[in-house]
Structure 1
């Protein structure tokens, strides 16, 4: 049976996809003083081939959540989809597609057939990793997952 935290991880991944699509349509003058954010994600010293990254503000009154996809280790959000200045919790997800479970007993898995998460919980469901976005400065981050 899958744990609630694993299931929550897949929900967050889905939400990140929705956020990255939706925030692309938001204008930079939405009142949040958004900043462009980009960077590199490595897993075990190698560029993460694919995944999703989300940012949750430590102070909900001063920021908004946002996320985007990771391709070949790179992620980028232009100013219109970026983050307001402040501190954010970073959450990274990446499915191990080679581990997709066979549908043995769907009821036992709560109807969710999902591949194993490659990223340690300390970088997603239990993340304490943070970044600080600065106003009118370069906001490029290197995130190295051991």
Structure 2
């Protein structure tokens, strides 16, 4: 049972798909992509979006079905049902905000590593430090 997907053992392939470590080498066989087209994150975000639309529309048209989906259909009082629906919607929105935050951080890391790779100039002292020392000398000479 030593099957492989594109030259990577199945266990390692799925471990890489589910891991939180993002590999930045797009040439790497273990890169977290689905069918060499989409990053796993994009697929997760699309699935979340579809589920959120379905859940919100279900809650809008049939609250009982929405509550039954989460095993809370046995509640009879309106206020309890209302708060359960609101809490579940808030959780769905928080998951979406977390996914957006994760995408933002992922893209910033990608830009950072692309920038680091493209640097071929030797590191120089920061000019801000030179400006501060010059201004400090001017202030001391005025006193």
TM range (shorter): under 0.3
TM-score by length of structure 1 reads 0.27
Structure with higher helix content: 2
Instruction: Return the structure number with greater relative CO, CA threshold 8 A, min gap 6.
Output: 1
Q: TM-score normalized by structure 2?
A: 0.27
